[in-house]
């Protein structure tokens, strides 16, 4: 593999404008496009480069394959006092995710707890964005989702059966941004493999294995094999029970049940004209259980204890928070390969290139 070159940086405002130009040229509803662009830019600002603007190539393919309805609006099809079911009607998942989290927050405010499950959605970006929304309002949240491509095998197997099936958890704290845990239940997300290819970086050995059990470190080859069910990504813990891989696969199963079994979203290896991704949102109002802000104080004490006399300790959410500050000041790095991809997508959509380069540090 070639070594990674320093990418040029672009203003967050121009990246949002570029996404809006492309989504608008595709025919997406203006309000839905604005929501989607906001989430994608926040994701890139947070240095989660696998789930931001780089996703446009996948969304373009969804559109070309007839799997995506850009005019869709999420619909509440079951509405209970503390729960709801939302149908995304095969639109991009970002507007559906926002609507579902807002609904879960409303129900938690009213009754202490709110749960929303979703069917017929598509990719909706990084889960942490939605979880963070709840805890910025003093609430706890858990978010899970299924993913489109099977890439992990059951313990002892070699057939891709489940997706990377991420989980996010957030909790409020007294000082600073919320505690935020956002992780795939595999050692890495599928789109991070693509991000490595965009950057020209070699994959760490142990992330991806072909069907013969051989490690694959070329990210372009790995991504191609993974999208064709020709390879697997190791579960959290690694490829064997000796390293705890069975625990990671157990978490993936849990995410699958919460996200899909409750909402009747697609199960493993189910195929059809549409993807039918499932999401799960759970929001808890700590004031209903522990009034007076004591939950946020307890979280603050816990995090402070971890960092006592340990200057280098980072808790979940710290790297993303630091990246938002740094990239907000110095711009969002876009590798040359990704810039070409964005330009090609814009050209096919007859959308202008509006990305504006920014002067400043180029290290990511």
239, 153: one domain: yes
Residues 6 and 144 in one domain: no
Question: 169 and 242: one domain?
Answer: yes
| Helix then strand then coil, % of the chain, to nearest 5 | 40, 15, 40
How distant is the alpha carbon of residue 155 from its chain centre?
A: 24
229: in domain: no
Q: Is residue 324 part of a domain?
A: no
Mean pLDDT of the chain: 92
Reported as a single tens digit per residue, the pLDDT across 93-116 is 999 999 999 999 999 999 999 999
Residue 61 is part of a domain; what is its CATH number? 1.10.1530.10
Same domain? For 78 and 46 the reply is no
97 lies in the same domain as 179: yes
* Same domain assignment for residues 16 and 121: no
pTM for the model stands at 0.91
Pairing of strands 332-334, 8-10: antiparallel
- Note whether residue 226 is domain-resident: no
Whether 35 and 98 have beta carbons less than 8 Å apart is answered as yes
Q: Higher pLDDT residue, 274 or 70?
A: 70
Is 203 within a domain?
no
Same domain, 41 and 172: no
Q: What is the CATH number of the domain that holds 90?
A: 3.30.1370.60
pLDDT at residue 115, as a whole number: 98
Residues 323, 314: contact at Cβ < 8 Å? Answer: no
pLDDT, tens only, 52-86: 999 999 999 999 999 999 999 999 999 999 999 99
Does 8 lie in the same domain as 41? yes
How far, in Å, are 176, 207, 209 from residue 212 at the CA level? 47, 14, 8
**Domain housing 338:** 1-71+331-364
pLDDT of residue 155: 84
CB 89 within 8 A of CB 74: yes
Q: Distance from CA of residue 124 to its chain's centroid? A: 7
46 & 162 share domain:
no
- Whether 214 is in a domain gets the answer no
Range in 212-226, 262-276, 282-296, 315-329 the model is least confident about: 262-276
312 Cα distance to chain centroid:
26
State whether 146 and 283 are in the same domain: yes
Which secondary-structure segment (H or E) carries 68?
none
**Looking at the predicted structure, is the pLDDT value of residue 223 above 70?**
yes
Same domain, 1 and 146: no
Identify whether residues 82 and 56 lie together within a single domain: no
Q: How many domains does the chain have?
A: 2
Residue 169 included in any domain: yes
Question: Does 53 reside within a domain?
Answer: yes
Residue 279: which of 152, 96, 136, 92 has the closest Cα? 96
362, pLDDT greater than 80? no
Q: Residue 24's closest CA among 250, 349, 246, 355?
A: 349
**Domain contains 299:** yes
């Amino acid at each position: 593999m070639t070594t990674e070159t320093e990418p040029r940086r672009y203003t967050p405002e121009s990246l949002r404008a570029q996404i809006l130009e492309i989504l608008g040229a595709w025919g997406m509803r203006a309000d839905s496009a604005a929501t989607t662009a906001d989430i994608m830019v926040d994701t890139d600002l947070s240095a989660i480069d696998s789930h931001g603007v780089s996703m446009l190539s996948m969304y373009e393919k969804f559109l070309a394959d007839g799997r995506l309805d850009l005019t869709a609006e999420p619909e509440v099809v079951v509405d209970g006092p503390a729960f709801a079911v939302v149908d995304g009607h095969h639109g991009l998942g970002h507007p559906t995710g926002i609507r579902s989290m807002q609904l879960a927050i409303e129900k938690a405010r009213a009754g202490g707890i709110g749960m929303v499950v979703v069917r017929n959605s598509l990719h909706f970006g990084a889960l942490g964005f939605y979880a963070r929304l709840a805890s910025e309002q003093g609430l706890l949240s858990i978010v899970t989702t299924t993913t489109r491509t099977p890439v992990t095998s059951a313990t002892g197997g070699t057939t891709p059966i489940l997706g990377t099936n991420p989980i996010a958890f957030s909790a409020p704290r007294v000082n600073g941004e919320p505690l935020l845990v956002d992780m795939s239940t595999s050692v890495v997300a599928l789109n991070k493999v693509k991000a490595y290819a965009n950057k020209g970086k070699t994959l760490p050995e142990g992330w991806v294995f072909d069907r013969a059990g051989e490690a694959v470190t070329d990210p372009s080859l790995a991504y191609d094999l993974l999208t064709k069910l020709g390879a697997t990504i190791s579960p959290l813990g690694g490829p064997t029970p000796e390293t705890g891989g069975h625990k990671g696969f157990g978490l993936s199963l849990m995410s699958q049940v919460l996200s899909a079994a409750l909402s009747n979203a697609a199960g493993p290896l189910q195929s059809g004209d549409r993807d039918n991704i499932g999401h799960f949102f759970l929001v808890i109002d700590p004031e209903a259980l522990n009034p007076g802000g004591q939950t946020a104080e307890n979280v603050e004490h816990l995090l402070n204890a971890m960092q006592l006399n340990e200057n280098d300790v980072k808790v979940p959410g710290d790297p993303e928070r630091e990246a938002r500050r740094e990239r907000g000041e110095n711009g969002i790095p876009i590798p040359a390969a990704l810039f070409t991809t964005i330009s090609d997508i814009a050209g096919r959509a007859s959308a202008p290139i509006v990305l504006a380069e920014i002067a400043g540090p180029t290290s990511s």
